[in-house]
Amino acid sequence: MEDIVRETGVSRYGIYGTFGNKRELFEQALEEYAEGMGKRSFLRLLEPDASLDHIRTIFAERVADMSCCDESKGCLFIHTAMELAPQDEELRGVLQKFMKRMGKAFAVGLESAKARGEVRPDLEVKAAGELLTSTMFGLVVLGRTGFSRDVLDGIVESTLASFR
């Protein structure tokens, strides 16, 4: 809380008055984080001309983020899933909601790619969307532990190749 007060210049009273307690503030931060990721990267998958290249671009952007030299390679969702969600049903719900939305967006993009003949006709897009979601989060963990960009890119290409 001290970091938030220092960074925003807003008093504790002002923060609590606006957001409620620490728990409510954290849940709102998770929702905002999820919304930012979705708007930034995944909206293009909902467009009628979405393709496998759109999916590849989303992964390329995330891998680039994970492979940068900054110390902030972590992901609020991964940290929350590992540290807090096992004991907190509400937080698990927030995380699952986000991951389901991500899986659905991938599935919509894959359905478009399927219609374009970019993936095999028998591809079960819902399951493939869930696979892409789990791959995305797995890449975050691998990136955080220092795997090279080449390794992460290879995982993405292997995963996408399995859809053709």
Looking at residue 156, its pLDDT comes to 97
Which one has a higher pLDDT value, 59 or 64? 59
- Average pLDDT score over residue span 88-116: 91
pLDDT at 38: 60
**pTM, to two decimals:** 0.81
Q: What's the mean pLDDT in 57-69?
A: 81
Residue 47 has pLDDT above 80, yes or no: yes
Domain-by-domain residue ranges, the chain?
27-161
Q: What percent of the chain has pLDDT over 90?
A: 42
Positive or negative torsion for Cα 65, 68, 74, 76: negative
Residue 44 Cα distances to 21, 52, 58, angstroms = 35, 11, 9
Output the average pLDDT for the chain: 86
pLDDT at position 70 over 60: no
For domain 27-161, the CATH superfamily is Tetracycline Repressor, domain 2 (1.10.357.10)
